[in-house]
Amino acid sequence: MAECKTFHLFPKLPAELRLEIWRLCLPQRVCEKDQAFPGIVFDLPDDEIPVPCLLYQTTEVNGRPPAISRICRESREIALKTGLFYQFFRSTNSLLKPRPSEAEWWSYTAIHSAWFDSTRDSMHLNWEPTYRGEFDDRGSALQSLAWDASQAGGRGSINIGYFQSNYILIKDLRDALKKLPTWTVVMRVVVIHTNFSTGASTGLFGLLDDSRVQLIDIFDEARMNALFDLAEQCEPYGLVTARQQISRDSPQSIQQKLRDAVRHKLRSEETEKLLPRLRPVIMFRLCTEMCNRVGSTASIRGVRWARKARKGL
């Protein structure tokens, strides 16, 4: 008998059961406030091109409405009940509080809006002090993130660079960290390049492959290993323009790295109070543009984008 992949009786299910199924299909996403800059993420010299990934394609796809919003009217209504296009510069939607002036922030890398579900999603800031050498910004990125994260149930994440840079204002960092009970800290970024079908079949990026950015707790061994294995499989020697460093550090060594960085930035008494509130994670990004493949047109477009971005165009 041929395998049947269509459940023809779904429309005959009770309405409350259908709606609950649609709700379970909604992704839990990392909503990015801004685009990540490859040269800084991968810690590369300014003139080193190509890079392992251009990054912005994943941010763009991750900011679109979830897949179920495009299936039928019923599923779209479910998506719209808790989701909307979130404005990062100001909040005019009646579902959200107006943005205070101290939480306003702008940069060349900032995103104007992205799809956001306040009941599921978390807020992430790619910007860190080292970006200032490449891009202009106005206002406080940290205060802006803290306010946005408060709209996401207090779920916010920053990069480890905030505790490593000598250019960060300590007072700004302290004030922002006090505004949320816990913070997620991205210790490193790993990009997985593969096609849509392969990414979807793994189930690692949401049920419908529309949660392209994942923050994995360093102690979640099963998911961590599955994602690292996939990343290694997708970077065959001789077929990629630039390889990532996909080393697997122990959770203990990653935790120690965070502890040392915080101690370097804050006083000892502050550090001991803050560390239990910081959760170190690895960020995994799914890129289906295959921009690291030899001869890829996406790689050529990305080089042009990176050069324009450096000039602030």
Contact criterion met (CB below 8 Å) for 188 and 258 = no
Classify residue 195: in a domain, yes or no: yes
Quick check: is 62 in a domain?
yes
In angstroms, the CA 277 to CA 272 distance is: 10
- pLDDT at residue 309, as a whole number: 52
In-domain check, residue 265? yes
Q: Within a domain: residue 6?
A: no
Let me know if residue 2 belongs to a domain.
no
pLDDT of residue 96: 61
What pLDDT, on the 0 to 100 scale, is given for residue 91? 55
Q: How many CB atoms lie within 10 A of CB 171?
A: 8
Provide the domain count of the chain: 1
**What's the predicted TM-score (pTM) here?**
0.88
Residue 42 counted as domain residue: yes
User: What's the pLDDT tens digit per position in 43-92?
Assistant: 776 555 677 888 988 999 999 999 999 999 999 999 999 999 988 876 55
94 within a domain of the structure (yes/no) = no
Domain span holding position 38: 14-21+30-89+101-311
Q: Is 3 part of a structural domain of the chain? A: no
Q: Which of the residues in the chain have pLDDT under 70?
A: 1-8, 45-49, 90-96, 296-313
pLDDT, residue 313, reads 42
